[in-house]
Structures are given as C-alpha cells and as structure tokens.
Amino acid sequence: MGNKYLVTGGAGYVGSVVAAHLLEAGHQVTVLDDLSTGHRAGVPAGAEFIEGRIQDAAKWLDPSYRAVLHFAAFSQVGESVVNPEKYWVNNVGGTTALLAAMRDAGVRTLVFSSTAATYGEPETAPIPEDAPTAPTNPYGASKLAVDHMISGECAAHGLAAVSLRYFNVAGAHRAADGTTYGERHDPETHLIPLVLQVAQGRREAISVFGDDYPTPDGTCVRDYIHVADLAEAHLLALDAARAGEHLICNLGNGNGFSVREVIETVRKVTGHPVPEVTAPRRGGDPAVLVASAERAKELLGWRPSRTDLAGIVADAWEFARRKETA
Ligand code: UFG
C-alpha cells in the first residue's frame, strides 16, 4: 500500500510532478493547495485533494502521514521585489504554521523545495552547498529563512529534513496513465515556456535580457534540470532524511546553457522560427548559475538521466502543444 504523504503545493508545476511520482511508486498522496497559483487539473487523479492554506495545515495533518513534501510558496523573483511582505507572510509565515502542525501531529519528516536563489550572485561555478548564501531578492531570502527555520526545528525538535535547492527546472512529465504534467505559470516569466510560446506563434519574439554579460555569447548561463529527474530526487530524499539532521542538496546537471543556446535549441526541436530581440538586463540576474550536485549524487544516490537540453525542450514542447489543443 506504500506510505501516506502530504504534498503542499501539489497543484503547481513541481509539486504535481512529485505527487505523480509518489503515486506511481505506490504511495498514497494528499495534495494541499489553495489554488492561488496552482491548477486543480494539475492534481494527479489518484491523489486526495484539499483546497486549503498551509497556514491551516493543523486541520488536516495527523500521525497517519509519514512525511510532508512542501512546495507551497510564491516563487516570482520580480514580484517579490515589489511586494516583499507577500513572500514573508506566505513563504515564511505559512511554513512556521506548517512546522508547528507537523510537530503537533507527530509527523517528523520533511522534504522542502528550496532554490538556488538562496545563494544570490555566486562567487564560483559550479556552486556547492557550502557557498555563501546572500540572496539578491526577497524570494530567495524567504526560502533561505525557511531553510534556517528547518535547521532549528531539526536541532531542537528532532525533525528529519532535506532541503533541495533547485536550479532551473524545465521540461514536463508524462505519467504512466498518459497524463502530462508541465509548466503553466500565469504570468509566465520563465525562459523555456516563453520561447516555446514564440515558436507556437503566441508571442511575436523572445526578449533576450542582456547580451553584455561576461559569458561566451554575452547572455546569461543557467543549469536546466528536467522536472522528472528533480522529482526522483524527492523520493530519494524521503529515504535519506535522518532524525535531528537537516540535509541541504543542490539539484542541477552541472552544465550551463546560455539564453541564446536555449533559443537555438527551441528552433531545432520545434522546427519553427523564433524571432529574438535584445532587451536590457533584468534586475537581479546573475551571469552564471550552475549547480554542483555532487552531494545529491553521493548522499541521495541521485542519478539524473534526462540531462540533454534538446530532450528537456522536446518534453516541454509536447506539453505546450497538448495545452494548445486541450
Ligand atoms: N530570460 C530572458 N528572456 C525572458 C525570460 C528569461 O532572456 O523572456 C533569461 C533570464 O534573464 C535568465 C534566463 O533567461 O538569464 C533564465 O530565466 P528564468 O526566468 O527562466 O529563470 P531564472 O534563472 O531567473 O530563475 C530560476 C527560477 C527561480 C530561481 C532562480 C535561481 O525560476 O525561481 O532560477 O536559481 F530563484
């Protein structure tokens, strides 16, 4: 029958893919999501769904849950700069309530969706977990604050926790029942889905935010990781979590691709023209963000298998086209 898991934010992009993986592995899943940014249709068919806030998690958590996988959060860097209080109230305040509810219910294992944005402007590439954490925006700061809260909870109250720091998540997951789970942000701000919208003719051109960075082609370099590889790390993290310990692992492929390389890959994969225009730099964008994921490989036994950028883009393209015809 497997174990029972609470997935907060399981109607969002990464949460829904992880929920689908848990179900495919034979577990029971309850999704808690307030649908403020998630989609009801993103909740996998086999999951129980609760429409509610993490602030009220105590209403539903009980000792039958083996662990919580916590994805519910606001995640737009730009929005966090103009509306930081939203990020402190929800991401930090909400997680405070969730941790208290877990303590009260005796649910003592947590996997947390953290981010490379906790590192800020990196001094090195690839970035290891012991790199300095100096977030450049309130989104990253709120996620770092939660990582600190989790460390305290582990030390003081014996929580077993793993924080997974994602780099640039992309692609889509096709579940065993044929359902495809992908990225559907509104507004969309991420590079790959936006470039695919241009390929579909839904946007005129892609804006390249800055081509004067100190990188080979002048555009920003990012580490794109397939959402299904990312999801697998969460299942491994559940097994690796130890009482009283807070393990932090980066998740990325260790390969950087520039904005222009991503656009060129989309042209090749889709066969469609993708006009581009050079635009000013976007505030707060580091030139290069590439992960060292050696710790996840060593301690979780994680083996990403979908590391080819064209394959990641092809899966995202399949999802985008299905959405178009849905
Ligand atoms: N970009 C463009 N044009 C666009 C959109 C993006 O040139 O229209 C560029 C960005 O400037 C950046 C790169 O494409 O250089 C990737 O941008 P994304 O918005 O797709 O991703 P980010 O690297 O900004 O952000 C991701 C996650 C964040 C996380 C951050 C830190 O989405 O949640 O990585 O690792 F905080």
Closest Cα to atom 26 of ligand 1:
168
Ligand 1 centroid from CA 191, angstroms: 6
**Are the C-beta atoms of 171 and 226 separated by less than 8 Å?**
yes
Task: Please give the angle made by the CA atoms of 280, 313 and 129, to the nearest 5 degrees.
Answer: 70
- Ligand 1 surroundings by CB, under 6 angstroms: 75, 77, 115-117, 140, 167-168, 189-191, 194, 206-209, 220, 222, 259, 282, 285, 289
> What's the mean per-residue pLDDT of the chain?
96
Give the model's pLDDT for residue 269. Answer: 98
Closest Cα to atom 18 of ligand 1:
190
pLDDT for 324 beyond 90? no
Task: Please give the angle made by the CA atoms of 215, 220 and 224, to the nearest 5 degrees.
Answer: 115
pLDDT for 325 beyond 70? no
Ligand 1 centroid from CA 103, angstroms: 35
Give 48's contacts (C-beta < 8 A, 6+ positions apart).
Answer: 28, 29, 30, 31
Task: Give the C-alpha separation, 325 to 313, whole Å.
Answer: 18
Q: Mean per-residue pLDDT for 55-73?
A: 98
Quickly tell me which residue has 């609760």 as its tokens. Answer: 50
Catalytic residues: 139
Give 17's contacts (C-beta < 8 A, 6+ positions apart).
Answer: 173, 181, 227, 228, 230, 231
pLDDT digits (tens, 9 = 90+) for 118-159: 999 898 899 999 999 999 999 999 999 999 999 999 999 999
pTM of the model: 0.97
Ligand 1 centroid from CA 70, angstroms: 22
DSSP-assigned letters across all residues of 233-252: HHHHHHHH--TT-EEEEEE-
Task: Give the C-alpha separation, 203 to 12, whole Å.
Answer: 23
- Note the residue count of the chain: 326
218 by Cβ neighbours in 10 Å (0-12 / 13-18 / 19+) ranks as middle
Give the model's pLDDT for residue 276. Answer: 98
Quickly tell me which residue has 């178009």 as its tokens. Answer: 324
Q: Mean per-residue pLDDT for 281-287?
A: 89
Mutate to test the pocket of ligand 1, among 14, 74, 77 (most ligand atoms within 8 A of CB): 77
Share of the chain above pLDDT 90, in %: 93
DSSP E strands in the chain: the ranges are 4-8, 28-33, 48-51, 67-70, 109-115, 160-166, 168-170, 173-174, 180-181, 206-209, 221-222, 224-226, 246-251, 257-258, 276-279, 288-289
CA 149 to chain centre: 19
pLDDT digits (tens, 9 = 90+) for 75-118: 998 899 999 999 999 999 999 999 999 999 999 999 999 999 99
- Token output for 230: 């990312």
